[in-house]
Structure 1
Amino acid sequence: MTRRRRSPALAWLALLPVALLSQQPAQAGDRALGEYLSAECVTCHQISGRQVGGIPAIIGLPEEAFVALMESYRRRERDNQVMQAMAARLSPEEVAALAAYFGGLKPRN
């Protein structure tokens, strides 16, 4: 029995539809929901946009960056037990809403 070797490029092309279908579309966050959910966030993160006591500012953070940071906490790639727990309990819709809310705020001087 003779086996034909597949080209690596052909194998990749065969997986492309699966990879594309598994990607979640970017969703616009609901700012009103984000504002509602932010009450817990601003107990540590300053609403003024200042970094205080080693807790980073999240005001004005681009939405994509906010979502990526939360995903890295959810996957435990970033080391902070509090943020890992917070990210784990938020749905993707809630993360997008928080990203939209905080991303739309301007730091206060």
Structure 2
Amino acid sequence: MRQAQSPAGFALLGALGLLFAAVPARAAGDRALGEYLASECTSCHQLSGRSPGGIPPIVGWPEEQFVAVLNAYARKERDNQTMQAIAARLSRDDVTALATYFASLTSKP
């Protein structure tokens, strides 16, 4: 037998819905941690936004794209052994921190 919901129960559910709607789906990563971790990345992907030898620039990338690409390398869905090894050892927090850091940068002329 189904129990009828009280008006107070509906009010509580509505308040919880508003609370969760106000919370971002994914919190931004720790920029300071990303900057700390970035030295390995910037040895190939230059901070100037220009990378030699076909290495793609990552300065200014949108966070979602950065996270998606690193996750694809970690799952070996993208082909590059160096990037696969690097991405596989990064934690989720590391990846979001790096994404936040690189998204905050702009290419230098």
1:31 and 1:61 mapped to 2: Cα distance? 14
Q: State the percentage of identical aligned residues.
A: 61
The root-mean-square deviation of aligned C-alpha atoms, in Å, is 0.9
Post-superposition shift, 1:51?
3.0
2:29–2:99 Cα contact (<8 Å) kept: yes
SS at match of 1:79: coil
* Structure 2 residue ranges without an equivalent (≥5): 1-24
**1:55 alignment partner AA:** I
2:57 and 2:83 mapped to 1: Cα distance? 14
Structure 2 counterparts to residues 55-66 of structure 1, below 5 A? 55-66=55-66
Aligned to 1:45: 45
2:44–2:51 Cα contact (<8 Å) kept: no
Q: Which runs of 4+ in 1 moved over 3 A?
A: none
**Quick check: 1:108 aligned with 2:108?**
yes
**Quick check: 1:35 aligned with 2:50?**
no
Post-superposition shift, 1:28?
1.3
User: CA offsets, 1:48-106, max 9 Å, x none?
Assistant: 00132110000000000000000100110000000000000000000000000000000
Equivalences, count: 85
Structure 2 counterparts to residues 2-81 of structure 1, below 5 A? 26-81=26-81
